[in-house]
Amino acid sequence: MDFTQIAKNAKEASLKISDLSTEIRNEALYKIADELETRSTEVFDANKQDLSEAEKLVRSGELTKSAFNRLKLDENKMRDMLQGIRDIAKLQDPVNRKLLVRELDEGLTLYKVSCPIGVLGIIFEARPDVIAQISSLAVKSANAVILKGGKESVNTNKKILSVINSALEQVKGFPKNVIQQVFSRDDVAEMLKCDKYINLIIPRGGKNLVKFVKENTKIPVLGHADGICHIFVDETADLDMAINVVTDAKTQYPSACNSVETLLIHKNFKGKDSLLASLQLSEIKLTDSPESWAFEYGDKILSYKIVSGLDEAIEHINTYGSGHTDCIITQNVENAEKFMNKTDSAGVYFNVSTRFADGFRYGFGAEVGISTNKTHARGPVGLDGLTIYKYKLIGNGNIVEDYVSGKKKFRHRDIL
pLDDT tens string 223-259: 887 899 999 999 999 999 999 999 999 999 998 899 9
Domain residue spans in the chain? 3-222+383-390, 229-356
Per-residue model confidence (pLDDT) at position 34: 98
Task: Please determine, for residue 24, whether its predicted confidence score (pLDDT) is greater than 80.
Answer: yes
Considering the chain, what percentage of its residues have pLDDT values greater than 90? 85
Task: Please determine, for residue 128, whether its predicted confidence score (pLDDT) is greater than 90.
Answer: no
| Mean pLDDT computed over 331-360 | 97
Per-residue model confidence (pLDDT) at position 291: 87
| Mean pLDDT computed over 51-58 | 92
DSSP three-state, residue 105: strand
| Mean pLDDT computed over 274-302 | 94
pLDDT-based confidence at 261, cuts 50/70/90? very high
Superfamily (CATH H level) for 3-222+383-390 = Aldehyde Dehydrogenase; Chain A, domain 1 (3.40.605.10)
Alpha carbon distance 159, 153 (integer Å): 10
What digits encode the pLDDT tens for the residues 94-106? 999 999 999 999 9
Q: What are phi and psi of 328, to 5 degrees?
A: -115, 140
Contacts of 411 (CB under 8 A, 6+ apart): 103, 104, 105, 106
pLDDT-based confidence at 68, cuts 50/70/90? confident
What digits encode the pLDDT tens for the residues 134-184? 999 999 999 999 999 988 999 999 999 999 999 999 999 999 999 999 999
Amino acid (one-letter) located at 311: D
Task: Please determine, for residue 204, whether its predicted confidence score (pLDDT) is greater than 90.
Answer: no
- 144-171: burial string, b at 16+ Cβ within 10 Å, e else: bbbbbbbebbbbbbbbbbbbbbebbeeb
Nearest to 3, CA basis, from 219, 209, 196, 220: 196
Per-residue model confidence (pLDDT) at position 223: 84
Per-residue model confidence (pLDDT) at position 226: 86
Q: Model-level pTM?
A: 0.89
What digits encode the pLDDT tens for the residues 131-147? 999 999 999 999 999 99
Q: For residues 389 and 115, is the Cβ–Cβ distance under 8 A? A: yes
Task: Please determine, for residue 109, whether its predicted confidence score (pLDDT) is greater than 80.
Answer: yes
pLDDT-based confidence at 42, cuts 50/70/90? very high
Per-residue model confidence (pLDDT) at position 125: 81
Task: Please determine, for residue 69, whether its predicted confidence score (pLDDT) is greater than 90.
Answer: no
| Mean pLDDT computed over 17-41 | 98
Element (H, E) at 62: none
CATH of 229-356, one of 3.40.50.620, 3.40.309.10, 3.40.50.300, 3.90.1150.10: 3.40.309.10
Query: What are the CA-CA distances from residue 224 to residues 42, 220, 345, 380, 402 (Å)?
Result: 33, 13, 11, 10, 49
- Given its phi and psi angles, is residue 157 left (phi above 0), alpha (psi -120 to 50 degrees) or beta? alpha
Per-residue model confidence (pLDDT) at position 225: 77
DSSP three-state, residue 30: helix
Per-residue model confidence (pLDDT) at position 65: 80
Task: Please determine, for residue 126, whether its predicted confidence score (pLDDT) is greater than 80.
Answer: no
